[in-house]
Amino acid sequence: MSSGDDSYLRDRALDVLLDPGLAHVVDLVCWVEKGLVHVADSKGHVALRATGECTLLAGRDPIVEQDPMSDSTSCYPFAAQRLHSLFADQRAPDLAVVHTGAHCWPERGGHPGEHGSLNAVQSRAPLILSGPGVEARGVVERVARVVDVGATLAHLAGASYDGMDGAPLPDAVPSAAHVVGLLWDGAQCADLLALEAAGELPAVSRLLRRGCAFRGGAIAEFPSVTLVNHTSALTGVGPGRHGIVNNAFYDRVLGQQVVPNSSDTWHSAMQWLRPGVTTVFERLPAGLRSACVNEPVDVGATYSTFGLIRETGAAGNLGPHLPVAADDPHATQEFVATDKDYAWGTQVDAAGLDQMLSLWREDVPPRLTWCNTTLTDSGHHAGGPGSDIARSSMRDADRRLGVWLDLVEERGLLDDTVVLLTADHGSEAADPSCTGDWDEALRKARVPFRDEAYGFLYLGHDVVS
221 counts as binding Zn ion under rule CB under 5 A = no
Nearer to Zn ion, 226 or 417 (CB): 226
Q: What is the size of the binding site for Zn ion (CB under 5 A)?
A: 5
Nearest distance, CB of residue 386 and Zn ion, angstroms? 18
Residue 373 near residue 397, CB atoms below 8 Å: yes
Nearest distance, CB of residue 186 and Zn ion, angstroms? 5
Nearer to Zn ion, 396 or 424 (CB): 424
Q: How many helices (H) and strands (E) does the chain have?
A: 15, 22
Quick one: residue 114, left, alpha or beta (phi over 0 = left, psi -120 to 50 = alpha)? Answer: beta
Stretch that binds Zn ion, among 169-177, 181-189, 253-261, 281-289 (CB under 5 A): 181-189
Nearest distance, CB of residue 447 and Zn ion, angstroms? 30
Radius of gyration of the chain (CA): 21
Residue closest to Zn ion when measured from CB atoms: 226
Q: Tell which one of 377, 396, 439, 451 touches Zn ion (CB under 5 A).
A: 377
Nearest distance, CB of residue 406 and Zn ion, angstroms? 27
114 counts as binding Zn ion under rule CB under 5 A = no
Residue 382 near residue 341, CB atoms below 8 Å: yes
Nearer to Zn ion, 22 or 218 (CB): 218
Stretch that binds Zn ion, among 19-27, 169-177, 376-384, 413-421 (CB under 5 A): 376-384
186 counts as binding Zn ion under rule CB under 5 A = yes
Closest CA to 223 of 107, 119, 360: 119
Residue 18 near residue 42, CB atoms below 8 Å: yes
Question: What gap in Å lies between CA 327 and CA 342, rounded to an integer?
Answer: 14
Which SS3 state, helix, strand or coil, does residue 8 take? helix
Stretch that binds Zn ion, among 126-134, 221-229, 447-455, 457-465 (CB under 5 A): 221-229
CA distances from 351 to 100, 137, 313 (A): 36, 33, 18
Closest CA to 289 of 157, 127, 392, 193: 157
295 counts as binding Zn ion under rule CB under 5 A = no
Longest CA–CA span in the chain (Å) reads: 67
424 counts as binding Zn ion under rule CB under 5 A = yes
Judged by CB under 5 A, the chain residues 224 through 263 that form the site for Zn ion are 226
Q: Which residues bind Zn ion (CB under 5 A)?
A: 185-186, 226, 377, 424
